[in-house]
Structure 1
Amino acid sequence: MSDTRPRLLLTQRQTLPVMQRIEQSFNISGVPEHKLTTRELLEGARAFQPQAILISTSLPLRHDDVLQLPDCVKIVATVSVGTDHLDIAALHARGIIVTNTPDVLTDCNADMAMLLMLAAARRAAEYTTLMRQGWGRGLAMDEMLGTRISGKRLGIVGMGRIGRAVARRARGFDMQVMYSNRRRLPADQEEGATYFSTVTDMLPHCDILSLHLPASPETDGMINADLLGRLPKGAIFINAARGALVDEDALIAALKSGQLAAAGLDVYRNEPNPDPRFLELPNVFLTPHVGSATTETRSDMGMLALDNVEAVLNGRGALTPVKN
């Protein structure tokens, strides 16, 4: 008997609850042993003729790739909030619906920003290195001192869902929160933060700067030497958003010169092979793009992606469609 379940191309393994739902509700060609490359995705799509493709960040589908997708594909569901890995206009031109997974990862990404903030300010990378080397002696009262974040001035660039969640957490540390956004939010959404109409006006007031906006051609490299130079000397820089927002040469120079005291980074321009110079800097705390990496959040993301797939394939509207 032929399998009448909808055909889903799986580009990487998902969490156990999501995999159980996939295996029950969808016809798949198999579970990949590794995250597929774009070439492998296209080859698999031509061979399997799926109605839906489950994808995620770091697997790009650009214009020429989209043109090679078979006509049977009705939806590309990305298990992520970000969509900069997809050519949305090209997919829509093919009549393919695109969905993402907003909201469900807000808290985990905000938690990660706070982790990066604390780790960078309190020199966690250096402390861990010292412990792994054997420690072996007491530290002097003035040795390897970090910076407390309580009461500090936090500037948030991008006051969307995650930015607002970070502002709420920062209030628990009695931080003075400021934000810069394309437009000012209604007062009841500002989380007590002070609005600045431009990033340049906000930067001189920031002890800590945290990025929470999507990557786009307009924001590519927006954090450059000029902007970093406007921060107070010894500020701390946090990026749990997108690596493309940052001129990494300028960031590394600022960390070496002391313009920045430290940085906490979860994202990079060249993932999964970031600039090796970051590894040489003791004042940088690095994580491998894991802002949403909890069992709860990754499962919620996968489930929402599947909800979108089932809705579209059953003739209903997508729950979280991505527009041009």
Structure 2
Amino acid sequence: MTKLKVLYPYFDSVVDETPSHLPEFEQFCQDFCVIFYKLSTPQDLIRAFHYELSDISGIFFTDRFHFFADFKDYIPHFPKSLEVVSYPWVGSEIFKPEALREKGINLCNVGEGCADDVADVALQLTLSTFRFTSFLESTLRSTKTITAARAVSSTLDINTKTGLPCNSTGTVAKGVRIGGKKVVSPRGRTAGIVGLGSIGKAIARRLSCIGLNIKYTKRTPLTEEETNSFPFDLQYVVSLEELIPQVDVLILCVPETPQTINMVNSKTLALFQKGSRIVNVGRGSAVNEDDLLVALDNGTISSFGADVFQNEPNIDERLLNRFDVMVLPHVGPFTCDNFDRAHGQVVENITQALSYHNYSNLVN
């Protein structure tokens, strides 16, 4: 029996860019005719879809391919034989799921497996927005002395040229302030989570452990049974506009949809209590960064933590140069454990689709 063909695109090294260390991938390569295709130019790949790749049944989408070209440009050229595309992460916006569905192509992600790893990063960023630990660490690295690094904990002003705290009082008698912004404990304060899916739930559990009260908003509230499964109070708020004034830190873990783009903007920012915080581990498009910078300057927002950005892979340098912005390079799911599981799930998705027409973790 002829084996069905699955495309596995790579850039430089087929050895380095495949999960060949996984037994399930080795078995996958025995069950299917896996075509390891070295990428050169988008035009060459489009041509290949009409010739040597004209009879593929699946695509094992790799993370590096994400930065190769715009996925939508390939959709018109996919062969009629293509049944399934699967990829080792969760977000789906780059794949244009509706356009794939129109061609009868099934798109599968990896489900909820990365929730804990992303939630760990959200916890780190949340703590840093309260304690300014990212800035304190960078100050220690640059000054190389504890005394100089701790001196920023009693600064009331910001140098308008550098954007960094200045004019230390030399005392914390009136409280710990960095650039005039208070350094406070998260305990007893309130976090609002926007989007309580698997990641949001994992974040809620972690933030409750450090003493934050948890409120959330989403299109459909949890059932009473789901709510009671949490070992702490979990309060539903019907809308973002109602949630914002009630929280000390807002955590965004939403996908990119027409409803979430620029959901944090000048109007919603005006609803925050002065000195609030925002953490974004969902999609960068949820935050209008121009409006955010104004809110950081006027003190409406005390600090901002982000693992995702509006114009990825580029980042607004104004964010990078601020002491009150904590940044990570979109590494929420980046652990060996997660990517082993994710690649194993892609293997399972394609195997189920092509062998049994069973579509696990279907996006479209």
Report deviation, 1:245: 1.0
Report deviation, 1:269: 1.8
CA distance in 1, matches of 2:121, 2:249: 15
Change (3 A) 1:44 1:187: farther
Which string of whole-angstrom CA distances, capped at 9 and with x for unpartnered residues, describes residues 138-164 of structure 1?
235525463222222000111111111
Which string of whole-angstrom CA distances, capped at 9 and with x for unpartnered residues, describes residues 261-288 of structure 1?
1111001121111122111111111111
| 1:1-324 → structure 2 map (5 Å cutoff) | 4=3, 6-11=5-10, 13-15=17-19, 17-18=21-22, 21=25, 24-25=29-30, 26-30=32-36, 42=46, 45-46=49-50, 47-49=52-54, 50-55=56-61, 58=66, 60-62=70-72, 64-136=73-145, 138=147, 139=150, 140-142=170-172, 144=178, 146-190=183-227, 191=230, 192-323=233-364
CA distance in 2, matches of 1:290, 1:41: 29
Letter of the 2:330 counterpart: H
User: Taking every aligned residue pair, what percent have the same amino acid on both sides?
Assistant: 25
User: What TM-score does the superposition give when structure 2 sets the normalisation length?
Assistant: 0.80
CA distance in 2, matches of 1:187, 1:201: 21
Change (3 A) 1:149 1:280: same
The answer to whether the Cα contact below 8 Å between 1:74 and 1:313 also exists between their aligned partners in 2 is: yes
Report deviation, 1:111: 1.1
Report deviation, 1:119: 2.1
Which string of whole-angstrom CA distances, capped at 9 and with x for unpartnered residues, describes residues 215-261 of structure 1?
11122111111111211111110000001111111112112222111
Change (3 A) 1:188 1:43: farther
The answer to whether the Cα contact below 8 Å between 1:17 and 1:299 also exists between their aligned partners in 2 is: no
CA distance in 2, matches of 1:16, 1:230: 51
The answer to which of 281-290 and 179-188 deviates more is 179-188
CA distance in 1, matches of 2:363, 2:92: 8
CA distance in 1, matches of 2:89, 2:362: 12
Q: Give 3-state SS (helix, strand or coil) of 1:177's partner.
A: strand
Report deviation, 1:55: 2.4
CA distance in 2, matches of 1:141, 1:118: 23
Which string of whole-angstrom CA distances, capped at 9 and with x for unpartnered residues, describes residues 92-122 of structure 1?
1111111011111111111111111112222
The answer to whether the Cα contact below 8 Å between 1:9 and 1:45 also exists between their aligned partners in 2 is: no
CA distance in 2, matches of 1:39, 1:281: 41
CA distance in 2, matches of 1:153, 1:52: 46
CA RMSD of aligned residues (A): 2.6
- Aligned residues, how many? 319
Give the equivalent residue in structure 1 for 2:154. none
User: What TM-score does the superposition give when structure 1 sets the normalisation length?
Assistant: 0.89
Letter of the 1:21 counterpart: F
Which string of whole-angstrom CA distances, capped at 9 and with x for unpartnered residues, describes residues 169-220 of structure 1?
1221121111111122112323321111111111111100001111111221
Larger radius of gyration: 2
Unaligned residue ranges in structure 2 (runs of 5+) = 12-16, 151-169
Change (3 A) 1:303 1:270: same
Structure 1's consecutive aligned runs of 4 or more residues displaced over 6 angstroms after TM superposition are none
The answer to whether the Cα contact below 8 Å between 1:15 and 1:298 also exists between their aligned partners in 2 is: no
